[in-house]
Structure 1
């Protein structure tokens, strides 16, 4: 039963009506990332009456988040974001269903998490993760609503919408790491992700309601500092789409070589003779992980260092949360290394096991 009073101002729009509101109520949207972009996406989708929302995030709320992630307050610091966001959203709209996945989105858990959703909203900040979000989206034939932010600028697009262009069409996978931004924060104006996240939510609603012009094959670029916008058209690359579809199908069928290591498997690998274990974090990141075969090579230096390694050498890479190590593993595999693994959720997943 639709709450016609709550959604009255939407329902009276001829383009929506009660039929459209029912579409929103029946929709299933997965939001990957509950940070700067994810917060406004979640707030706007919930307020609009999207009936089933999944939230994926294994991070915790930090005080540095509060200037832009408006779902959280100071008392939330230290709490898991996905659960905290779920609680806040249900206070905003208790009539909808929220599922919290308190874990980082990885190739291991992705097939389980995406099951049953109609739209994926990419609110991550890591390029390597975006590629396999795109690939899953392509394989499942569901849209991916994308945004990214940097300092005072942001961009929005929709991929894999009605057999349209994919993320790989616009951003071909790089062959080197120097072309890929580091995961470390470069700074951002607090209002910027809220603007871009609201634009993402708008695209999601248009897709569900089947109204307006969706940003498929178009990249909207927003410059907050000079209040300028532009839209760039891009075309479908059949080979890029096919690559994503194949990769996504393999992921969904779990045809992986156990490349994403659990903490237990990671520690076992570290104890094996001849194993090269590479810490791709910066030198000042904690906790430290000291072992005889652990080498600290920041991600920005990995490309040069890898030239000294044999392509058949087994390698394990790790970082803080698993995002940079995923990026490092993808680069090494694309460079011809045949035995590369990474700690899926980063060193934070085994804090209690570090002596």
Structure 2
């Protein structure tokens, strides 16, 4: 309802007090606050981006907020996902988010969708809302969100974050570009590491998420100069903003229907390749590694291929650090050869969860060095063998 009948919308005495700082702004005023009250927004994800933007949209007086997420709150979320608290660890994120929203604004209607957004449900979930805000962290859902918004003619407020950098824009608004104009094709699976692998500065999603909330309010108010056609880039480490122009690609394929986005992004193919790669490698469980370590007659070298800062957080006793980037660059392979020189024992490799060590062993195998991968990595070691080893 981006063009509601303002005569039918009333503000209560509490509304006048609650939103007085909005109402006295000439650019907002009574009519603007009524538009905000009449608006409905769907937020996809309640993570780093969804947390701050949901808080500010609720506080601003959005009348109806939909939230779609199927994850639970984890301790590792609390560093940046500020809508959640310690008491909600282990519970659904959407329930945590609703609880916090209603504490801020008890007059907000909050719709919950505890499910994964898919090609089969996206149109039905998105259709009732005026604006969609993309707070996701994976390419299949970003393309799905974009295509559904194009088919339904809904503005799509986009944001993404990684390490110290973030970006934001508005897609599919006033004949502006959509996500496929920025990224016509998805990157190869694994090419872009996740925040779980690469990390993220905790305050960064607060900045980008708040920009997304700002753009949503500007769309509702009919403000000029939205981020449609402009990609805002932010580097928190350097405290610099940059801007790139975006234009619709006249040769862009017409979006006519929703597709299999996992297939489009190469996820099944990548998983199949990963399975094939893993099957070509020898593996052991952490319990088997523990039994091996307890035997005095078995000689081995335990290789840790995580990054040095991860090694500082937690390590398996007796492990030797040779980071995966060093192995990829080649000099790490030489270091492994030096470790094995004159050594008759077996090579065992691990990382955080087993993926990077499998990649390292594949590279080492190409160099003529055989090894065994530890399934589940140091995370499994902490859960199944030694709980004193810190999980991160």
Shift of 1:84: 1.3
Shift of 1:239: 3.2
Normalised by the length of structure 2, the TM-score is: 0.63
Are 2:66 and 2:112, in contact at CA under 8 Å, matched by a contact in 1? yes
Q: Tell me what 1:334 maps to.
A: none
Q: Tell me what 1:189 maps to.
A: 201
**SS, match of residue 106 in structure 2:** coil
Q: Distance in 1 between matches of 2:219 and 2:53?
A: 14
Q: Distance in 2 between matches of 1:27 and 1:66?
A: 29
**SS, match of residue 98 in structure 1:** strand
Structure 2 CA distance for partners of 1:87 and 1:182, relative to 1, 3 Å = closer
Cα-Cα RMSD:
3.1
Higher relative contact order (CA 8 A, sep 6+): 1
Q: Distance in 1 between matches of 2:76 and 2:355?
A: 23
Shift of 1:197: 0.3
Q: Distance in 2 between matches of 1:176 and 1:187?
A: 20
Structure 2 CA distance for partners of 1:185 and 1:212, relative to 1, 3 Å = farther
Shift of 1:182: 5.0
**SS, match of residue 82 in structure 1:** helix
Are 2:123 and 2:152, in contact at CA under 8 Å, matched by a contact in 1? no
Q: Tell me what 1:173 maps to.
A: 185
Is 2:227 the partner of 1:218? Answer: no
**SS, match of residue 55 in structure 1:** strand
Q: Tell me what 1:42 maps to.
A: 54
Q: Tell me what 1:331 maps to.
A: none
The structure with the largest alpha-carbon Rg is 2
Is 2:121 the partner of 1:109? Answer: yes
Shift of 1:185: 3.6
Deviations 1:260-294, CA, capped at 9 Å, x for gaps: xxxxxxxxxxxxxxxxx94969989x9xxxxxxxx
Structure 2 CA distance for partners of 1:204 and 1:228, relative to 1, 3 Å = same
Q: Tell me what 2:330 maps to.
A: none
Q: Distance in 2 between matches of 1:204 and 1:280?
A: 40
Is 2:106 the partner of 1:94? Answer: yes
Q: Distance in 1 between matches of 2:248 and 2:207?
A: 27
Structure 2 CA distance for partners of 1:46 and 1:176, relative to 1, 3 Å = same
Q: Tell me what 2:306 maps to.
A: none
1:240-251 aligned at under 5 Å gives the runs 240=252, 242-243=253-254, 245-246=255-256, 250-251=257-258
Aligned residues: 269
**SS, match of residue 157 in structure 1:** strand
**SS, match of residue 71 in structure 1:** coil
Shift of 1:127: 1.2
Are 2:75 and 2:86, in contact at CA under 8 Å, matched by a contact in 1? yes
Q: Tell me what 1:203 maps to.
A: 215
Q: Distance in 2 between matches of 1:175 and 1:226?
A: 26
Pairing partner for 1:22 from 31, 34, 41? 34
Are 1:174 and 1:180, in contact at CA under 8 Å, matched by a contact in 2? no
Between structures 1 and 2, the one with greater helix share: 2
Shift >3 Å, 4+ stretches: 174-185, 277-284
Shift of 1:115: 2.1
Structure 2 CA distance for partners of 1:183 and 1:226, relative to 1, 3 Å = closer
Q: Tell me what 1:126 maps to.
A: 138
Are 2:46 and 2:93, in contact at CA under 8 Å, matched by a contact in 1? yes
Deviations 1:191-238, CA, capped at 9 Å, x for gaps: 000111000000000000011310011100001111101111121113
Query: Which residues of structure 2 form unaligned runs of 5+?
Result: 1-9, 264-270, 286-353, 360-392
Shift of 1:174: 3.3
1:180-329 aligned at under 5 Å gives the runs 180-181=192-193, 184-240=196-252, 242-243=253-254, 245-246=255-256, 250-251=257-258, 278=272
Shift of 1:106: 1.7
Shift of 1:178: 5.5
Structure 2 CA distance for partners of 1:194 and 1:155, relative to 1, 3 Å = same
Structure 2 CA distance for partners of 1:175 and 1:57, relative to 1, 3 Å = closer
**SS, match of residue 199 in structure 2:** coil
Is 2:18 the partner of 1:6? Answer: yes
